[in-house]
Amino acid sequence: MLKHLHTLLTSLAIVTAGLATGCSGSKQPGTAVIDCLVADRAKIDALITDLGTKTKPDGSRDWSAIEADALVAGVEIGGCALAEFVESFLAPASGLKAPSDGVEARQTLEHFRSTKTGGASFKTRFGTL
């Protein structure tokens, strides 16, 4: 549990530092920004809707299935949809069923970023994550 909390806090610190320095997509690993504002909005929105249907039998989010669907859609469309889904899911009004849901959402996005984008951030309509 502490390892997951440490990972979450480290990720938040990285994102905060990136926002403070105005990440602009330099060539250094982990500093690239994928611009979701210019990506295919219709495909992103359709995938976000699909991601919202991925639940386990107990009604909780199936983050493995959510990430798998994002991977199939590719780095740009899948990554942008996943980032926006996680951002909206973590919003204060989202009504998380359990505190661990937020941790799992963040971990899913961070896993996608680290394994598929080299740590790139996503510039979405909600901000840069």
Instruction: Give the span between the Cα atoms of 47 and 86, in whole angstroms.
Output: 13
Residues 6+ positions from 54 with CB-CB distance below 8 Å: 61, 62, 65, 66, 69
Domain-wise residue ranges, the chain: 2-128
Q: What is the pTM of this model?
A: 0.69
6 band by pLDDT with thresholds 50, 70 and 90? very low
- Chain segment 21-65, per-residue pLDDT in tens: 333 333 444 578 999 998 899 999 999 999 999 999 988 889 999
Q: Tokens at residue 29, please?
A: 């690993």
129 band by pLDDT with thresholds 50, 70 and 90? confident
Q: Is the pLDDT of residue 103 over 60?
A: yes
Q: What is the pLDDT of residue 24?
A: 36
Q: Tokens at residue 66, please?
A: 């959510």
